[in-house]
Chains A and B, each alone.
Chain A
Amino acid sequence: MAPPPPLSPPALRRLLILALTLLVTPVATAAAAEEEFTEELLLRPLPDRTALAHFHFSSSAPPSAAAGRHHHLFPKVIAQLVQQFHIRELELSFTQGRWNYEQWGGYDPMSTNYAKPPGVELWASFDLSLGEIDATWKNLTHTLSGLFCASINFLESSTAFSSPHWGFKLNKGNLRYGALPREAVCTENLTPWLKLLPCRDKAGIASLLYRPSIYKGYYHSQKLKLTSSQSFGIVLDQTLTVVLQPDSVMGKQLHSADGQLQPSWSMKDLFNRNLLGKCFVSKSSRVFFEIEKDIFDKVDKSGTEASWTNELFVLSPAPDRVLKEINNMNGQSSSLYEYDVSNYEDAHLDVGVTWKLPLIWSCTPAPYHANRFLMGSGNERGSISLSFISTNMHKQLFDSSNDCSIKAVVFQVVPWYVKVYYHTLEIFIDGNSKAISEVVDKINVTPSEDKLLPGTLEMLLRFPCSMQSATLSLDFDKGFLHIDEYPPDANQGFDIPSALVTFPEFNSSRNYLETDSLFVSPLLQTFKEDGAVKSYTEVLLVPLTTPDFSMPYNVITFTCTVLALYFGSLLNALRRRTGEEERELKKAAAKRRLIPLLISKIRGKAEPPPPGSSPASVLPSKLLLKVVFVAVVAVVFHYLSNS
């Protein structure tokens, strides 16, 4: 018997779509109350021969009252999480590698929003009264830990998280921030993250996520951002930012002037996978190719018009649309070339760039490069130093008048075993020591409590525009821990999480001239959001002194022996001398002995019976008394125990 002919895939798809539309139509009458899913991918060549790929998956659910507890596209886990813990905002990032602010830029939405410190960073703000937040945070960390197969539950202890007031994000005390710099990030964290997508990595843009190729990159940051409000419902943005080395054939590379190779690449080179259509439940599925402003400046100089094909480079399928950045600065602006994946149902979409000429360009840097390092040697003390080096970027923005200044906010969390002396804060500007009050506008310190609270430092600095470099230094003492508090590999050292430097006067948002007014892309929406330029500093590794881990029994016995020696010998000395002196006294004054005196006192000063009289008459009466006393006690005890 032949089995029934299987439905061909396109037929199946059509059926599915039909079913979906049937399902959705009754709901769709209430226009906004619909769950949406969009998938987007942004590609950008980077100056150091690498390429940036940024996956952006956005799901949204209407306010829970409208949809009840049912979800079509939105992951139910996340909805429950938001409901359970009353989360207003949450951001969780898993990062491996460090964003290279010098090469990859520090002044665009990408570096501001998606450059994250190594390891895990989690912050959340809650819609709860202040007293409940800490307990909720602890539960949240455990839940997330289970959801993402990571040790986020280490953030549960009060030594691991802090509540910044304004240094990280302005809040009313309902924000908690925690970071685990040493957390290793790998595919076991990616799989649960992909499970939240409606098509997982089986279809759509997520199918490009071929593990070996994305994990061999220079930078890998997977982020989950939740925003929940009564009016809009829950919005879940899942992003994955990777910086990859294009896996290109040597023949396609062009030699630039200084011997550097600028590789031509396409999506196939980056991911080793082809893009096979969109995820069917997604509302839109698009690929963007971003060309930096600096490249267009170079194109301008070469005299041709800035479009997707010019003298310097060519994008391989012709883009469907071009989005120009709106900026009020003169000169060129960056552009996004848009490809709609749904137009490439049958053919593979393989977006790529081919360089015609060797090209050197640079990304716009942040006004200052912030670096952090440790000073000092030995395991007793040291100092943390934060240095700012001007990139002279702001000189173009501000006229270099003398009284202008640039604000920078420093936010730094220090674990309690690094005991920072905040009074030792020193600031050097261009090598000259400056008074604290000249530079620090506002400072908020939450000093660390031993085994209880990490230290938090929030500082608002104001640098003169003409400044070339600034250094801040803080001395610290290294703490000594109990042997149980050391991690398994204690001699490796302890990590101080990255500090965050924000330049509130510099806005990294980018507006694009959108032609499609019906649909707003979530990716471009985040680019449009008002975001101050941020950069994270390095994680510091502090080696701490270790005790001998094999010694507890020895130490206990040695110490107790010494103390027993002290106690015993002192008592012995006291007793021995008393004995000696009493012996001497006995010799000298034998009549006045202590014990006979005491005995006579106990006997109630009764005259000792004359030796002649019989003691028998006294003894029986005493014996009788004792017997009666014992009997009474026994009776009373018996009575009490029975009643």
Chain B
Amino acid sequence: MAIRHYRSMAAAAVGFRLVLVLFGGDLHLASRPEVSTPLTSIRRLAEGYWLKQASMSPYSGSMYHGSPLVLSVLGSLTNQRSIGHRAHIYCSLIFVAVDFIAALFIRATGNRLQMARNRNLQSLELTESVSNSVNVSAGDIVSLIYLWNPWAIVTCVGSCTSPIENLMVVMMIYGACSRLAPLAAFGYVMATHLSLYPAILIVPIILLLGFGPDTPPTKVFRIKFSSASKSDISDNDKSINLRDVQQFSWKPVFYFILWLLFWSCYVLLSSSIILNKVGSLQEMTYGFILTVKDLSPNIGVLWYFFAEVFDFFRSFFLIVFNMNIIFMVLPLAIRLKHRPCFLAFVYTAIAAMLKSYPSVGDSALYLGLLGLFANELAEMKFTFLLFFGYIGVSLLSPVMHNLWIWRGSGNANFYFATGLAYTCLQTVLVVEC
């Protein structure tokens, strides 16, 4: 149904972005706290590039905290001031392209998942449910969701570097789904290098590479076969069949680890060459992410928490909040090991919720991935609440921010309240999934 118009819809999304970038005037999206964080802001990138050009460490000055690779790629584009256009227009154009590529990857992932699902259903002899499923081209719909997501558009037009991070995550998932170890490893290394939190995605990636895309839980097969065994299949045959379904192949995983080592060596070497021994990379990027040094407001809750918390509790809460993400890795992995793609989605959502500098770009990614599981999540509860909650928060948050920062008539607490509501919504979403 949506296949026929897919191309035109995707082109329209890209065209809409281009229109906004070229003719949107100065929307000041690049300095919106919802859009750009200290990690992804393009102005900070430009400052880092300027410092580097002035033969200083780009990390001196607590301005830039991103990757040296991004700096070397985008840096030279930031200082080209074209007359008649707003600053950083070339970067915005690149981000439009990056978003489009990410959408293509999501589409391919969706198609693969769809195929795997259909195969599984067929092997479970549930052919009628295959034919019944309305959503034939999940990939198309998912990529359209990603392309037309207003937050993704805002992030792209606001030209912060989170589209690149999203692309890397999507690339990693696609690589793992189609068992392309080099691509998956590249995506993983880059995503981790850029924003650290995708590091927890190694669990779903290995599961994906080992088991292949999502399958129904082995128990279902067991039930299936145990019910079948009543008739004629012998015990030996049954175990063979089971192994067929859930065999864990070590070969792609081994390749993945080899490629992982290769890419990480590559990234570390190239960044050390770019930095030329002028800055300590780990301390300035990962340290900055983990210790929540910048207290400027964003849509999360941690900034206000660390602005208000007593100093002697600070390290304790830093540990607690960072551990909170890791705590959930193992239980979720055990619980969802038969559906690694879905596991990756849940991890992404949790990271987007609990990360130290969240932005709507992260939400755009996991909402896009959410579409991949539209079939499974059809009977989700609270969809009304969630949908309007997201709309409400994204409308109220700028208003509260404006009242607090620009008019001076509001108070930090109002803005913090929208952040709280947003976190609650994400919690509900994750839990309901």
Contact = CB atoms under 8 A, between A and B. Distances in A.
Interface of A: 377-381, 416, 419, 421-423, 443, 445, 447-452, 455, 477, 479-484, 545-548, 551-552, 554-556, 558-559, 562-563, 565-567, 569-571, 573-574, 577-578, 581, 585, 588-589, 592
B406 A378 contact: yes
A448 B61 CA distance: 5
Contacts of A422: 47, 50-51
A423 B47 contact: yes
B47 A421 contact: yes
Contacts of A452: 62
Given A380-B405, A563-B324, 6 more contacts: A422-B47, A423-B47, A545-B405, A558-B420, A573-B431, A574-B335
Contacts of A585: 219, 223
Contact of A555 (B60, B309, B321): B309
B308 A483 contact: yes
A566 B423 contact: yes
Interface of B: 31, 43, 46-47, 49-51, 54, 56, 60-63, 78-79, 217, 219, 222-223, 226-227, 293-297, 301-311, 321, 324, 327-328, 331-332, 335, 353-354, 404-406, 408, 411-413, 416, 420, 423-424, 427, 430-432
A569 B412 contact: no
B307 A481 contact: yes
A421 B431 contact: no
A570 B431 contact: yes
Nearest to A588: B223
By secondary structure, the B interface counts as: helix
A588 B324 CA distance: 36
A551 B295 contact: no
Nearest to B79: A423
Contacts of A570: 328, 427, 430-431
A12 B306 CA distance: 70
Contacts of A562: 301, 420, 423-424, 427
Contacts of A423: 46-47, 49-50, 78-79
29 contacts: A377-B406, A421-B47, A423-B46, A423-B78, A445-B54, A447-B61, A450-B62, A450-B293, A451-B293, A479-B295, A481-B295, A482-B295, A482-B311, A483-B308, A547-B304, A548-B413, A551-B412, A554-B413, A555-B309, A555-B416, A556-B308, A558-B301, A562-B424, A565-B427, A566-B430, A567-B328, A574-B331, A585-B219, A589-B222
A547 B308 contact: yes
List the 7 closest A-B pairs by CB distance, nearest first: A447-B61, A423-B50, A378-B406, A450-B62, A566-B427, A552-B308, A480-B295
Contacts, number: 145
A545 B51 contact: no
A587 B227 CA distance: 12
Nearest to B222: A589
B432 to A, nearest CB: 8
Q: Which of A479, A546, A563, A573 has the most CB of B within 10 A?
A: A563
Contacts of B420: 558-559, 562
Contacts of A589: 222-223, 226
B405 A592 contact: no
Contacts of A581: 217, 219
A545 B427 contact: no
B49 A479 contact: no
Given A447-B60, A565-B424, A588 B226 contact: yes
A577 B339 CA distance: 15
A146 to B, nearest CB: 27
Contacts of B79: 423
B226 A480 contact: no
Q: Which of B303, B321, B420, B427 has the most CB of A within 10 A?
A: B427
A444 B311 CA distance: 35
Contacts of B308: 483, 547, 551-552, 555-556
Contacts of A548: 411-413
Nearest to A543: B408
Contacts of A573: 431-432
A480 B63 contact: no
Contact of A447 (B56, B327, B405): B56
Q: Which of A483, A484, A555, A567 has the most CB of B within 10 A?
A: A555
Given A447-B61, A545-B404, A570-B328, A555 B219 contact: no
B68 to A, nearest CB: 17
A381 B31 contact: yes
B310 A552 contact: yes
A377 B423 CA distance: 30
Nearest to A419: B63
Nearest to A448: B61
Contacts of A554: 413
Given A421-B47, A450-B293, A551 B413 contact: yes
A124 B296 CA distance: 35
A573 B336 CA distance: 12
B47 A592 contact: no
B331 A571 contact: yes
Nearest to B310: A552
B406 to A, nearest CB: 4
Contacts of B305: 555-556, 559
A552 B406 CA distance: 23
Contact of A483 (B56, B226, B307, B416): B307
A592 B61 contact: no
Contacts of B302: 559
Contacts of A571: 331
Contacts of B311: 482, 484
B310 A566 contact: no
A450 B432 CA distance: 40
